Structure 1
Amino acid sequence: MPEITPVPLSRLTTLRTGGEPARLVEAETPDELVGALREVWAQGEPWFVLGGGSNLFVGDEPFEGTVIRVRTTGIDELPGSRADTVRLRVQAGHDWDALVAETVERGLAGIEAMSGIPGTVGAAPVQNVGAYGQEIVQTLVEVELIDESTGEVATVPASELGLGFRTSVLKHHYGSVPERPAVILSVTLELERVGGEERPIAGEQLRGALGLEPDQAVSLRWIRDHVLATRARKGMVLDAEDPDTWSAGSFFQNAIVSDAFARTLPAECPKWPLAPVLDPVTVIPLAAFDGILPPPPVVTRDVKVSAAWLIENAGLRRGFRFPRSRAGLSTKHTLALTNRGEATAAEIAELARFVQNRVASEFGLVLQPEPVLINVEL
């Protein structure tokens, strides 16, 4: 196993927290990754996999186990299901934004709106990453993974991953374990060949975010540049010189609630139905019609609610922090909890709990953390 000298995890995570692990392993090939995982599983020791460190919140105490850092890279091109598509099989440790940049350069559409998202390709399906109306579920074909329970490597179609809003059967949600404990080795996406020419954009959410008219034509390069600029204005593009970007991205998930609960929130709170509302069609055979129509069925639906709006309207403004604390809300985006300089995990956890309590008191809703929490509790 390619073991290296351990370093504090605060040096390997974008939130800049975390103690030193007992062991640190770097896997640069798929075989090394599989071998390292099988070894730690056989020994039964604590472990976790580290990619870009952008979706982790790690505690201050030393981690008494093995951290396996995934450094595998590479892109293989495969035939698509149609003449105008191509499939890319990408190694798990490949930088996500580097992949997006390459697809834009090659005129391949499908993930350009996810420009600037930090982290590695292997982490993308775990939480079904998305931005501005695009999610990886829209282009994901399959993943190659190694199952923790058996140590076997298998190719699993996207349809078996339970991909939902920022979730999958592989995700370690706060307070629970994954439905399917496994580690992704590679990811296969199917993208559309559109070239570098301008074309109308189909997604309403993406058009709205970029200020595009329904028939306005733009190129993949234009979309990437404008998404990166939009994310930078929100402090969501990593910058070693800007503490406003020293975060795990959105610390809290946009809440998924019932339509009935959503109606109890203020009308101005942004809400997005997760499924269209369709008028039910009732067909009654003429011979059986007695002149009375049955009552329409009750249709329930889930609604996504803006966590940023809830935080701001619970009285917590951008840049909020406790006196003498080195943790604070971003001055650009209230969903990001930032490390203003050598903040401890305890300081960030204290701020996170305060945000949760304020939103719960004001709106009756407990926001859930988006990053994976290791050696730390909220």
Structure 2
Amino acid sequence: MQISEVVALAQALMRCPSVTPEDAGALDVLQKNLEETGFVCHRLTFSDEGTPDVENLYARFGTAGPNFCFAGHTDVVPVGNADAWSVDPFNGTIKDGTIYGRGAADMKAAIAAFATASKRFIKESGEEFAGSISLLITGDEEGPAINGTRKVLDWMAENGEKIDHCVVGEPTNPQELGDMVKIGRRGSFTGYLTVIGTEGHVAYPHLADNPVPHLAAMVGALDALVLDDGTEHFQPSNLEFTTIDVGNPATNVIPKSANATFNIRFNTHHSLDSLEHTVRGVLDSVAELRGCHYELDCRKNSSPFLTPEGDFSALIVEAIEKRLGRKPELSTTGGTSDARFIKDFCPVVEFGLISQTMHKIDERANVADVEALTDIYTDILRSYFVTQG
């Protein structure tokens, strides 16, 4: 079987076991490919207290505007039980027209498609198109996301690097390539709730204050909270408890404290600050009613965003329809991505491969889809620079 350029690059990237925060040579592979095309590459390593150092790559072809950016990540999640895989998870094995391996869907094959599409467009345009193409690639998307895209963007701003529009190659399609383009994402708010009681003997409850019933009442109140009914572009906000912990191994001791963690995925009806106000209001009411004390640590992870429908999203949709004969849904569903950082710098949408096997055993992508995605990205560049010109 003859391996195409884009598939060979995807395999080379997948053969680097770049589990966050390790790069394992993935950025070397990509940088070599881009420099052969004429990109100027910057390797950027960032650090922060309590987090591992992370390598990132910013590459640009051209110096003029507009600057069209492809963004993504070469880091991947762990493989889990390697014995459960039908193939070596870091080999990029092709079977029956499908490429298998960690990163096939999320999102090394999409990065290979970025690079190959850029090379095609640059070659056919004779390097004379009016503008620039850039790639912003991080090794920290699947991890804390502290030393990755956010800091690359800050470095770009400090060094006069402006991007005008961006496509992030996350796997956006639920069933078939061309199903969905993400034009926004809900925000994320995490709450760490602790109820403080008084430790004591279960036979002498009047000498103690059991925090567990107090916590249960607070959990019930928050669980009953209806945040909104959604918007035109966003589904309703939801609050979900992810763990409740007491950590008490004794059956005859009333514990001193009880803890719960929850996460809220929220739409544009709310801000991070307004959500904290709402949550604290509910907890204050329960605490006053029950005469108990609580502590709440809030992690304001990300705000919701929406790239309004317009010329940019229409250009993406047209490129998909041209190749696949399918009009994608413009959606804001799913979790978060690094688009939440990029949206502060330019309009951003997400479009990549099928999401069904991401983070799973035997993660995979159809070779035909990888080829088609490359064609779509190439068409996006063609239309973008004609439109901008």
Q: TM-score range by the shorter chain?
A: under 0.3
TM-score for the superposition, normalised by structure 1? 0.22
TM-score for the superposition, normalised by structure 2? 0.22
Bigger relative contact order (CA 8 A; separation at least 6): 2
